[in-house]
Amino acid sequence: MAVLIDVYEQQYAVLTADITSKIGNLSNSAVSDVKHAISELDKLIEEVKELLEQMGLEVHDMKQCDQPKMKTRLESYRAELRRLEHEFSKAKINFIERDGDAGMSYRSDVSDSLYSQHVSLNEEQKQRLLDNSERIERAGKNLIAGYQVLLETEDVGNQVLRDLHSQRETIQRARNRLRDTDAELNRSTRIINGMIARSLQHRFILSAISIVFCLAVISTIYFSYSS
């Protein structure tokens, strides 16, 4: 990329030197040669403008560390081109004032050319305006579509929040029922444990009574045989 910039700068130096030379010779040229010289200068200036645009693209793609210095040089090149265009305009005005009828003829040709360029620019501007209008219209439609999607997304989000809230309430009620069930199970467990304890107590009492009864019967039989 740096090599390409160097080539562009060399081309710029050659072109601007040629433009400076031709502008200097313009005041000494014959009337018959002026129109051709001016046409060549117009082409050279356009070529320099295109060259500066290419340089600008290359500078834009350069590394960040190299850009500031190159941007400064590019601005100086553009300023020099503006100066050359100003000198070129002054040379054309001097030619028109100096050469009377020939100058008036050239001025008429220039006016016709400028008018054609103006009409062309107006058509181009109209087309650009139409293109911009279409882009703005498309952008507006995209914004409307995006806004509708946003509203739909918001509705979906609200519905999800409502569902989550309903599910939370359901879970809370289920948790409360679970707590109640757990409390009932605890009470049932205590009751069952009490019943088991009383059953064991009754069984113990019955066993003790059975043992006492058996002892009484045995004692009665024993004393009966003894007597």
The tens digit of pLDDT for each residue in 84-94 reads 888 888 887 77
pLDDT at site 129 = 67
d(CA 67, CA 107): 43
pLDDT digits (tens, 9 = 90+) for 12-61: 899 899 888 888 887 776 666 777 888 888 899 899 899 888 888 887 77
Neighbour count for residue 95 (Cβ, 10 Å):
21
Tell me phi and psi for residue 65, to 5 degrees.
-70, -25
> Does position 125 have pLDDT exceeding 50, yes or no?
yes
> Does position 71 have pLDDT exceeding 60, yes or no?
yes
pLDDT at site 99 = 53
Tell me phi and psi for residue 99, to 5 degrees.
-105, 20
Contact yes or no for 121/56 (Cβ under 8 A): no
Residue with tokens 């999800």: 160
Sequence ranges of the domains in the chain: 2-98
> Does position 114 have pLDDT exceeding 50, yes or no?
no
pLDDT at site 58 = 80
131: pLDDT confidence band, cut at 50, 70 and 90? Answer: confident
pLDDT at site 219 = 83
- 2-23 b/e with 16+ CB inside 10 Å = b? eeebeebbeebeebbeebeebb
Instruction: Give the residue with greater pLDDT, 141 vs 163.
Output: 163
Q: Is 139 exposed, middle or buried (0-12, 13-18, 19+ CB in 10 A)?
A: exposed
- Which percentage of the chain shows pLDDT scores above 70? 78
pLDDT at site 115 = 46
Planar angle of CA 169, 175, 176, nearest 5 degrees: 90
pLDDT at site 89 = 86
d(CA 105, CA 178): 106
What DSSP state is assigned to residue 227? -
- Of 141-145, 166-170, 202-206, the poorest mean pLDDT is in 141-145
Architecture of domain 2-98: Up-down Bundle (1.20)
pLDDT at site 141 = 78
Query: Residue 155 is which amino acid?
Result: D
Instruction: Give the residue with greater pLDDT, 102 vs 206.
Output: 206
> Does position 221 have pLDDT exceeding 70, yes or no?
yes
d(CA 62, CA 67): 6
What's the chain's average pLDDT?
79
Instruction: Give the residue with greater pLDDT, 32 vs 116.
Output: 32
